[in-house]
Each structure stands twice: as C-alpha cells, then as structure tokens.
Amino acid sequence: MIVTTHIGAKAGDLAETVLMPGDPYRAKWAAETFLEDAVCVNEVRGMLGFTGTWKGHRVSIQGSGMGMPSLSIYANELIRDFGAKTLIRIGSCGAMQQNVAIRDVILAMTASTISTPSTHIFQSLNFAPCADYGLLNAAARAAGERDVATHIGGIYSSDVFYSEHPDLDKEMTRHGVLAVEMEAAELYTVAARYGCRALAVLTVSDHLQTGEALPPEDRERSFGDMVEIALEAAFS
C-alpha cells in the first residue's frame, strides 16, 4: 500500500501513463469525457486524480496545480512512488507570437526558463529541458490528422502569471518562443532525471499581444483536441 504525502492513492491505483493538467477540474472533465470506467483515485488537497481506460489502455489524469514547485511534487511522487513512465502535461498557455491564435495547439519541443525547483542541481550549467522525441513526433502526427492549428517549438516556463518583465517577453518573442506557461520545464527536467518520457501539449487560452483571454469555464472543459492528441501520442 502506497499513500504519499500528496497523492492518497494505493499502489496500483495509478497507471504508467499520466496526463497532467494544472487544473484539477480539467482532470475531472477530461476523465469523464475521454476515459472509460474512470474512478477518482486522489482527492488530497482537492488535487483530483482519476484512472480509467482509453481504447483499452490504462491511463491516469492527475492535476498538477499551478507553477513548477507544485508540478514538481506530483511528478516526483508519480514517478518515484507510483511507477509513472510517461507524463504528458495538458495545459493552457499564453501566445507570444502573432501567428499563434487563441485555441491553437502547441507542442512544446523545449521549455526555456529562468529557474526551476531543479536549478540548484545544475550549478552553472544552463540545462535545456526538452520533450521526449518519440512522444513529440507521435503528437505531431496525431495533431496533423485533426482540424486544429498546431505549432511545434520552444515555449517559456515562467514562475509568474503576471509578468513584470516586458523587456524579457519581447526578447523571447524576437527569438521565436511560441508561448508562456508555468510547468513544462520542471516536468521535462524531472522526467529526464528518472528516464521517463514527457511532453507538454498546450492550448492557447490567452494572447500576450492582443490581450484576448478565454473565460475560466473554457479553460476547464473545452480543450478536447489537446487531450486526444496527448492520448494518441502516449499509445501510438
């Protein structure tokens, strides 16, 4: 029997493949919408987790919370205590390029960052967090078969939602960074440490240049393309 500090599930309750939205209610919606026989396996701190099947494959969907310190707790416990092998973030993000529109999907090849909870490990090294290539390639194929605009490239994992660095945002736009979110760099780093596969599949909910922003209910329960792309990539 395994119950960690933050995941109140028993050994075997979680699958080797875990989708990780920041929002626990997106986890609930995605489990109810896309999984068969989904059962709730975690309610600790309201960070809901579910396990069910998709096309016969066992899969869990566990909320990560917002920001890298929170994601890091769940990724560590999922991998070290529950045996997760494939972790795919399904998150919202803010577009940083004019050619990226609201509701477009982004596959994060790399995640630049100022710091993550893992930064101290690397001393003076600027570690480059990157996606698992097999997952990225499979997600690109899955996205290509859907009627959704998809961009593949670098994103920025920020510690803040409300940026006080317009100069830095501008430089990232100038250097082709597609979007900003708050978890992928730590997910990629923790996965690399334990030899696991990781990818972030994101949907654009905000636009830093136009000021557009989707309402909370859309972020919770309308990003179905990214969920299906993540599931198809995980089991291709």
Ligand X SMILES: O=P(O)(O)O[C@H]1O[C@H](CO)[C@@H](O)[C@H]1O
Q: Write the CA distances from 163 to 37, 51, 116, 167, integer angstroms.
A: 41, 35, 16, 10
CA distance 235 to 96: 30
Smallest separation, CB 130 to ligand URA (Å):
19
Q: Return the one option of ligand URA, ligand X, none that residue 219 interacts with (CB less than 5 to 8 A, by type).
A: ligand X
Burial of 45 (0-12, 13-18, 19+ CB in 10 A): middle
Q: What is residue 73's three-state secondary structure? A: helix
Known binder of ligand: residue 22?
A: yes
* Interacting residues toward ligand URA by CB under 6 A: 92-94, 158, 161, 180-182, 205-206
* Interacting residues toward ligand X by CB under 6 A: 21-23, 66, 91-92, 161, 181-183, 219
Nearest to 199 by CA among 214, 213, 183: 183
Nearest residue (CB) to ligand X, 122 versus 161: 161
Known binder of ligand: residue 154?
A: no
Nearest residue (CB) to ligand URA, 86 versus 92: 92
Residue nearest to ligand URA (CB): 94
Smallest separation, CB 201 to ligand URA (Å):
14
CA distance 18 to 79: 10
Cα distance between the two ends of the chain:
31
Q: Return the one option of ligand X, ligand URA, none that residue 233 interacts with (CB less than 5 to 8 A, by type).
A: none
Residue 203's H or E segment, with its range, is strand 197-207
Known binder of ligand: residue 183?
A: yes
Contact 181, 112 (CB under 8 A): no
Q: Return the one option of ligand X, ligand URA, none that residue 77 interacts with (CB less than 5 to 8 A, by type).
A: none
Which entry of 104, 169, 206, 225 is annotated as an active-site residue?
206
Nearest residue (CB) to ligand URA, 116 versus 205: 205
Nearest residue (CB) to ligand X, 91 versus 117: 91
Q: Is 169 assigned a catalytic role?
A: no
Smallest separation, CB 153 to ligand URA (Å):
16
Q: Cα 216 to the chain's mean position, in Å?
A: 17
Known binder of ligand: residue 132?
A: no
Q: Write the CA distances from 72 to 63, 92, 195, integer angstroms.
A: 12, 18, 15
Binding region for phosphate: 22, 26, 45, 89-92
Binding region for a purine D-ribonucleoside: 6, 181-183, 205-206
Active-site residue list: 206
